[in-house]
């Protein structure tokens, strides 16, 4: 094309651009879904079996989207011993909006003040649960572009998922994920392998600017999710086939070519159905089979059309049964956070990726291809893949990544269980105080995890101020305890440690997202 640069003149792409480090944050309290079933007066198993959910994390009025993201970013930087001057791009994916103009990213820039680094590209990206994926793609594209200056990119996905009382409420949750992006990554995004589908739909949206609650068409939302999955998988298969053909490889792509699959998880049962859906897609493009192999006993469904099967119970049941072994092998381990904490919206699929990493050894992950499906209502969706490095030696980037997430289950188990009544009261308080000015939060600071940022007040101009709980290492009593006790014991009792203010800029100072 006119003006294009000859390929021989193009600069060398950085190798293996992707996720180098990953950190997850979730609230320190949860409600048990079995107890919530009884509290809501629904049949036993409706939430735990029907949705596949065991626990749901939630925030008190001490936490908002800014504090979640402040916490996860600071934890990632501290865990990896990184200075804030090493970051050249920072982008936030979120749909939890508390200001129609000011981005969460600008609030996070307070963490950079001591380093003097203000040369940081990126702002917020919003479209329901897809914003984190868009931010990740933007970060990867930046590293692979002429704009890259050699520094890392930082991607943050965070949300507070809350619903009005009713059937949707048990599908809530809250949390944030931060990802460090750069070259030579242990989790490299496969270049050119993204199957994307975007179209207009009103399946889930938030038109009320003074409410945290969405408007949800549950049946349409499921159909949109599954139809987007069908379309994205079809596009992904076409692209990988084209790559293989250029490399002289003649074979058909199927689920067997993914070592693991992680999905955006509104609730765990939908993920299980989604894997079955992909098997249905494989079946419909396969040759008629004999009575052996993965499609044995499924020939009765040979002539069905995908668009007619979104709510076909016979098809769903047959393919969930046929894909049960694949689910156990490739996807179930990714649902640890989703099952125990609920839907985090934009971080959901990356919480699933973190769960997958946390439940496998470096040796089990090395050299594997992981498929990820990201969905955001309205709608935007992509199925893409990540290749895990072959290097799993001690001290390697992959080994460090796995080690950084090895305490994930212990952290989930260390949370405090509260009654459904207390949970309901918290939801009512959030509903009544959302977007209030001149507001001082009521929630207890003592019950937050060490190192958590929290909201101290909202002034009469809606400017929000935050402080940070001390880290375990900052507390004399914790250091004494750690000399006599295992780290796991400390993690399991983290919520009982005192919480004192400590700012990233200057210890004891309260910071604000408004002008000083």
> Cα(203)–Cα(215) distance, rounded to whole angstroms?
8
The tokens describing 243, both together, are 């790559």
Q: Which residue in 69, 200, 62 sits closest to 127, CA to CA?
A: 200
CB atoms within 10 A of CB 169: 18
> Cα(97)–Cα(209) distance, rounded to whole angstroms?
9
Q: Say if residues 108 and 65 touch (Cβ distance below 8 Å).
A: no
In the DSSP assignment, the letter for residue 138 is H
Is 338 annotated as contributing to ligand binding?
no
> Cα(359)–Cα(380) distance, rounded to whole angstroms?
29
Q: Say if residues 217 and 201 touch (Cβ distance below 8 Å).
A: no
> Cα(464)–Cα(204) distance, rounded to whole angstroms?
28
The tokens describing 60, both together, are 């008190």
Is 221 annotated as contributing to ligand binding?
yes
Catalytic machinery residues: 95, 129, 264
H or E element in which residue 134 lies: helix 131-143
The tokens describing 354, both together, are 């973190």
The strand ranges marked E within 13-83 are 18-25, 29-32, 55-57
Q: Say if residues 261 and 373 touch (Cβ distance below 8 Å).
A: yes
Is 86 annotated as contributing to ligand binding?
no
The binding site for CoA consists of 221, 269, 273
Residue stretches of the annotated binding site: 221, 269, 273
């Amino acid at each position: 094309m006119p003006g294009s640069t000859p390929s021989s003149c193009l600069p060398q792409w950085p190798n293996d651009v992707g996720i180098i480090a990953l950190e997850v944050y979730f609230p320190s309290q949860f409600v048990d879904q079995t107890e919530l079933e009884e509290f809501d007066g629904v049949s036993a198993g409706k939430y735990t079996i029907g949705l596949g959910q065991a626990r749901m994390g939630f925030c008190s009025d001490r936490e908002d989207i800014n504090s979640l993201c402040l916490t996860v970013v600071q934890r990632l930087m501290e865990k990896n011993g990184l200075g804030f001057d090493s970051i050249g791009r920072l982008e936030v994916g979120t749909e939890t909006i508390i200001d129609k103009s000011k981005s969460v990213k600008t609030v996070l820039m307070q963490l950079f003040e001591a380093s003097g680094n203000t040369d940081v590209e990126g702002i917020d990206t919003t479209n329901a649960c897809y914003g984190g994926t868009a931010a990740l793609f933007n970060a990867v594209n930046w590293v692979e572009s002429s704009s890259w200056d050699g520094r890392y990119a930082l991607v943050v996905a965070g949300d507070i998922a809350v619903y009005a009382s009713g059937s949707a409420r048990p599908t809530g949750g809250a949390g944030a994920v931060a990802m460090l992006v750069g070259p030579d990554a242990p989790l490299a995004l496969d270049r050119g392998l993204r199957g994307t589908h975007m179209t207009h739909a009103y399946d889930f949206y938030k038109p009320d600017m003074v409410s945290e609650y969405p408007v949800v068409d549950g049946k349409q939302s499921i159909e949109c999710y599954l139809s987007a999955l069908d379309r994205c998988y079809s596009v992904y298969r076409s692209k990988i086939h084209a790559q293989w053909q250029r490399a002289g490889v003649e074979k058909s792509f199927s689920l067997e070519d993914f070592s693991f699959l992680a999905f955006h998880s509104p609730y765990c049962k939908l993920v299980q159905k989604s894997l079955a859906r992909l098997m249905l897609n494989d079946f419909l493009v396969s040759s008629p089979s004999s009575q052996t192999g993965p499609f044995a006993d499924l020939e009765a469904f040979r002539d069905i059309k995908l668009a007619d099967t979104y709510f076909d119970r016979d098809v769903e049941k047959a393919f969930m049964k046929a894909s049960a072994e694949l689910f156990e092998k490739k996807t179930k381990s990714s649902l640890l956070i989703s099952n125990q904490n609920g839907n985090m919206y934009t971080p959901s699929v990356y919480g699933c990726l973190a769960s997958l990493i946390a439940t496998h050894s470096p040796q089990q992950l090395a050299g594997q291809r992981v498929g990820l499906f990201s969905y955001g209502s309205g709608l935007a969706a992509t199925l893409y893949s990540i290749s895990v490095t072959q290097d799993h030696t001690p001290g390697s980037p992959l080994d460090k990544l796995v080690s950084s997430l090895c305490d994930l289950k212990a952290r989930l188990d260390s949370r405090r269980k509260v009654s459904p009544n207390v949970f309901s009261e918290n939801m009512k308080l959030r509903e009544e105080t959302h977007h209030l000015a001149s507001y001082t939060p009521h929630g207890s600071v003592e019950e937050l995890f060490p190192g958590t940022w929290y909201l101290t007040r909202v002034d009469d101009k809606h400017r929000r101020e935050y402080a940070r709980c001390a880290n375990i290492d900052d507390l004399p009593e914790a250091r004494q305890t750690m000399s006599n006790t295992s780290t796991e014991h400390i993690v399991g009792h983290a919520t009982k440690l005192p919480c004192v203010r400590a700012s990233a800029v200057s210890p004891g100072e309260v910071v604000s997202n408004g002008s000083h």
